[in-house]
Amino acid sequence: MRKRLAIEIRGIVQGVGFRPFVRLLAEEFALSGWVKNTAEGVSVEAEGEVARLDEFLRRLSSRAPALARVDAVTSGEMPVLAGEGFLILESGSGSAATLIAPDTAVCTDCLAETRDENSRRFRYPFTNCTNCGPRFTIVKSLPYDRAATTMSGFALCPDCEAEYHNMRDRRFHAQPNACPLCGPCLFLSYPDKSPLAGDCLESARRFLAEGKILAVKGIGGYHLVCDAMNEEAVARLRAKKYRYDKPFALMMPDVATVRRFCLVSGEEEKLFSSWRAPIVLLRADPQGRAVAAQVAPGNSRLGVMLPYTPLHHLLMQGQEALVMTSGNVSDEPIAHEDGDAFARLAAIADCFLWHDRPIFRRCDDSVLVCAAGRPRLLRRGRGYAPEPLPFYSSDNDILACGGQQKNTFCLVKNGQAFLSQHIGDLHNTPTLESYAAEIGHFENMFDIKPALAAHDLHPGYLSAQYALSLPPGVVKTGVQHHHAHLASVLAENRLDEKCIGVIFDGSGFGADGCLWGGEFLLGDLSSYQRMAHLGYAPMPGGEQAVREPWRMALAYLTEAFPEGLSPRMKMLFPAEWPLVWQAAQKGVNAPLTSGMGRLFDGVAALFGKAAVNYEGQAAIELEQALTECDLPPYNFALIEKDPLLIDWRPVIKEAWRDVAGGQSMGVVSSRFHRGVIKMVTEVCLELRRRTAVNLVALSGGVWQNAYLLEQTMESLQKEGFTVLSNELVPANDGGLALGQAAVACALAKKR
């Protein structure tokens, strides 16, 4: 008995070899019919014997291509047509609702071709197939066909055309397919665009050996590249990029090389060797090879990735380690268009290694760390975006605008949350323009028309101003910063139940107008209650206190020692400190903060850390200095108020006595970290006693501190708590948008 089915497949099913897979599977089961891309996914009509057709339907999910993600397969019976053969049809039209795969690292087959002297793709930097290569960054619109990508200007040569139409070839319907005869070309130019003669790659490698800085065009934008073993070259890159102290990312040729420099766990190797190929923060091996000191000053971790394009593999030949940092001046968006790259990077790069395949959208490298036994995203970009996260059902499309720092936005449609790639800090016009343009790209690509817009409550955030500027028909929902952090953890786990949210970050706009950041919330998606928090301290100079931690040390010491500062304390501060403190006492540009991040800054500044060059630097260096010791943890005092007040003054007193007594920064760091862990455990126990809530959610940028996260989770779990923390989205403000979307969704349902 025969039957015919109309089948709809949803998920990441375009650009991953899904149609050829369907056709080959249909031939295996002697089915007739057709398959095509549509704006919603992949549509199939298949006809044959009932048993074979049923097995075909099952295997559409179980045997899907490696890069595919099948979210749903639905089918309905149709009249039998008794046709013959199985075809791949031209793509259909309609409203966009399908998913597009992230950019993927070059596969082993393609890499082997670039190394085979007998292959027509020998040393070709843009070799790819249906299993690898650019996707997200070259797609202009859906359905995913070559004409809708930046490859549309490259006509296939006869050989590539034959591969494209041979369903038994792994390049069957590979939209970015190319070769040296018909594909993108590589160029090496001076900053004035005048070309350099000779072999581009050979010359580029020679320039690196000479200590020069290259601007290299990749998949999602330009990188600035130099020899990571060359102190002078790395220092020159720092000076030209205006990036002082913040660690540079590294590229190393293979796993064996990484192991010569770093201590690598099995989980970490699996991460950076995967098709996503992210940057992974690894512990530098004290006994191993060392890169230039200026690569990661004051940091015991190195951010390492493997080559993920044929171009990178070719460039890495003979190299041990290259700095591979975003192609921008600090705090600007990564350059991805050639004209813009030459204009902005000409003052930094000695030459440009670039190509003529346009990048439609910029996308930074993703960054992860393994902590508490799990990989955790610190920055979401290449290899992860725009892959959606499963989300709650919603009657409306939602836009969540994210925060000011480490911005991402989130769009919600049909139970899926599309969290964007890392946009950056919204402090300047270029980044804001990039932000607005990328929201438009996502809305068009996935046919999302937001009826709700969620935003932070801070009136100065450009992301909030963007939300409030949307048409009156879009319902705006303000979401408190730390409630959004809590909700991001619940949303990752598809939960909506009461939990104790321990939200530690630098500062976020609080419901009382102060800057929160050391918070214990009791909440779910639709509501929260502030149950406990760090005591307030003034931030002398406002945001200047973030860049100059001595100001926080001044505030904490003055509050902890009301009898007056000792001469040694005063030596920590510049000459203008009395005027700064007088202004703070009068409330002039000195907002109150309960931020745990600010407390970390203040403790680090007791050792003379007067100024920092990137956000969180003082806290990171305090963590890096930690050495285990037998001395007891510092003690916070709990003051019975509503909400419960956590007094940090005893900690500052004990820490200063240690500093004045000659204890090392490592010992003070250990006692401080363990004091925070002990305090968190005690407060959670008290809140469980009061509320009977046993679920704890840890979120906020402070929880990127691996030691703090691991030891706190262990301490809470020993007390019987169920503990969740961010994994799929960053714990920092890069995950804020997901939480905002979850809150807006829950509130809309209540309304």
3-state secondary structure 315-382: HCCCCCCEEEEECCCCCCCCCCCHHHHHHHHCCCCCEEEEECCCCCCCCCECEEEEECCEEEEEECCE
More confident residue, 680 or 330: 680
pLDDT digits 0-9 by tens, 235-284? 999 999 999 899 999 999 999 999 999 999 999 999 999 999 999 999 99
Cα gap 326→311, rounded to integer Å: 16
User: Per-residue confidence at 751, pLDDT binned at 50, 70, 90?
Assistant: confident
What predicted TM-score, i.e. pTM, was given to this entire model?
Answer: 0.93
User: Per-residue confidence at 12, pLDDT binned at 50, 70, 90?
Assistant: confident
Cα gap 227→214, rounded to integer Å: 10
pLDDT tops 60 at residue 96: no
741 in the Ramachandran plot: left (φ > 0), alpha (ψ -120 to 50) or beta? alpha
Strand partners, 416: 390, 413
pLDDT digits 0-9 by tens, 333-372? 899 999 999 999 999 999 999 999 999 999 999 999 999 9
pLDDT digits 0-9 by tens, 166-184? 888 999 889 999 999 999 9
User: Per-residue confidence at 83, pLDDT binned at 50, 70, 90?
Assistant: confident
pLDDT given for residue 615 in this prediction: 87
Closest CA to 681 of 643, 714, 650: 714
pLDDT tops 60 at residue 95: no
Cα gap 64→25, rounded to integer Å: 10
CB atoms within 10 A of CB 570: 14
**Averaged pLDDT score across all residues of the chain:** 95
Ordered strands of the 32-38 beta sheet: 69-78, 2-12, 41-49, 32-38, 86-88
Closest CA to 34 of 94, 96, 78: 78
Residue 428 corresponds to which tokens in the numbers above?
């300047």
pLDDT given for residue 379 in this prediction: 97
- What whole-number percentage of the chain has pLDDT above 90? 87
Domains and CATH numbers, the chain: 2-88 (3.30.70.100), 100-269+300-368 (3.90.870.30), 515-523+530-725 (3.30.420.40)
More confident residue, 68 or 341: 341
Cα gap 680→80, rounded to integer Å: 66
121 in the Ramachandran plot: left (φ > 0), alpha (ψ -120 to 50) or beta? alpha
Residue 466 corresponds to which tokens in the numbers above?
């963007």
CA distances from residue 460 to 63, 406, 509, 621 in whole angstroms, order as listed: 50, 15, 10, 30
pLDDT digits 0-9 by tens, 516-575? 999 999 999 999 999 999 999 999 999 999 999 999 999 999 999 999 999 999 999 999
pLDDT tops 70 at residue 93: no
